[in-house]
Amino acid sequence: MIEQWFSTMEEDTLEENSMNAVFPKGIPVLIVKKNSKIYAVSNKCPHLGCPLSAGTLEGHTIKCLCHDWKFDITSGEFLSSREIKIPIYQYKIQEGKIFIKI
């Protein structure tokens, strides 16, 4: 599969401490802005597929609404068992838009 960059949202609409669900190429991605830095992670909990965007952001940790699983947005690691990870995605900002590499 060839990796490509997909436009997702305008950078200036991304607020601090926000979680924004986007679907480049139909893939559920969560764009998070924390301490002025952007993170792009899967928006799908590996446990039962619940959307992480429905959960809460505490520091650099997303807590899934369904069963309280917690993931580090900097690494994608599940905090209770670090061998379980959610995908993290590269991003770039071009002409004011956030692009995600899929």
Tokens 């601090």 sit on residue: 16
DSSP per residue, 20-85: EEE-GGG--EEEEEETTEEEEEESB-TTT--BGGGSEEETTEEE-TTT--EEETTT-BBTT-TT-B
The residue extents of the domains of the chain are: 5-97
Tokens 């002025």 sit on residue: 36
Give me the tens of pLDDT residue by residue for the chain, a chain 102 residues long: 678 999 999 999 999 999 999 999 999 999 999 999 999 999 999 999 999 999 999 999 999 999 999 999 999 999 999 899 999 999 999 999 999 999
- Output the pTM of the full model: 0.92
So what CATH class is 5-97?
mainly beta
What local confidence, expressed as pLDDT, does residue 1 receive?
A: 66
The H or E element spanning position 93 is strand 91-94
